[in-house]
Amino acid sequence: MNQQKPIIEFGVIGLGRFGQALVKTLTDAGKEVLALDSNENKIKQIRDNTANAFVVQSMDKETLMDTGIQNCDTVIVCIGEKVDVSILTSLNIINMGVPRVISKAVSYEQGLVLEKIGAEVVYPEHDMAIRLANTLISSRTLISIELRNNLNISEMKITNKMEGQSVLQADLRRKYSLNIIAMEHNGNATSEITPDLVFHENDKIVVVGNRENIRKFELYMTSRS
């Protein structure tokens, strides 16, 4: 069978709250999305975002192929609550040769099965809970995204402890093993972090590093010594 060239960047199967938010965010960013769901009302709602939205009553391989989902570069399966349908649909998409398949899971056990068949797994509720907890724990952390192996991307607000220090003087890479990837001052953001860039109170910086090191840096910023 001839391999068709992918013509759509993303496919989203399942239009619950997670799936709908995914479609809307991707299309708002100018991405082309093919959306599938068994609920006609959900399909009608999402057609304001993408014309490539179809009602499918079955997730078998033949029905899915009729929609052209196999021509997507990435397919996200958002049927986490129906475990059997989630696994079977993910397997069918993988067997169609889609380059990247991401599946939503609601339990660790479901995630293990999905990983075994070759899907990337996301745990939306679990990940959101960790993100919220990290923000609540860290008073100076505005946003925290946990990656793999305890690695975090965090947006933090600078205190007067670092007022007037340059990036070179602060030396966060040596002291805390943190890399600054962006900075915002008076509403102006930049990703060009030069050694002579100066910190001011209430500036925002985005750092990448170990969660514990981010916590140590935060403690330094809030200490009185």
pTM above 0.95, yes or no: no
User: Is the Cα torsion angle 209, 148, 192, 223 positive or negative in sign?
Assistant: negative
Residue 173 pLDDT: 92
Interval 111-142: pLDDT, tens: 999 999 999 998 877 666 656 555 555 545 55
* Token couple for 93: 């998409």
Closest C-alpha to 123, from 80, 93, 154, 74: 80
Length of the chain: 225
3-state SS class at 123: coil
* Token couple for 60: 């078998």
Q: Is the pLDDT of residue 172 over 70?
A: yes
Confidence of residue 3 (pLDDT cuts 50, 70, 90): very low
Q: Which residue has the higher pLDDT, 150 or 47?
A: 47
CB proximity list for 175: less than 8 A, separation 6 or greater: 217
Tell me yes or no: is domain 127-222 CATH 3.30.70.1450. yes
Same fold, 8-122 and 127-222: no
Q: C-alpha distances in angstroms, 194 versus 139, 156, 158, 165, 169? A: 27, 18, 17, 13, 12
The answer to whether 82 touches 55, Cβ cutoff 8 Å, is no
Q: Which superfamily does CATH assign the domain made up of 8-122 to?
A: NAD(P)-binding Rossmann-like Domain (3.40.50.720)
Interval 71-102: pLDDT, tens: 999 999 998 678 899 999 999 999 999 999 99
Interval 20-70: pLDDT, tens: 989 998 998 889 999 999 999 999 999 989 989 999 988 999 999 999 999
Return the domain boundaries, the chain: 8-122, 127-222
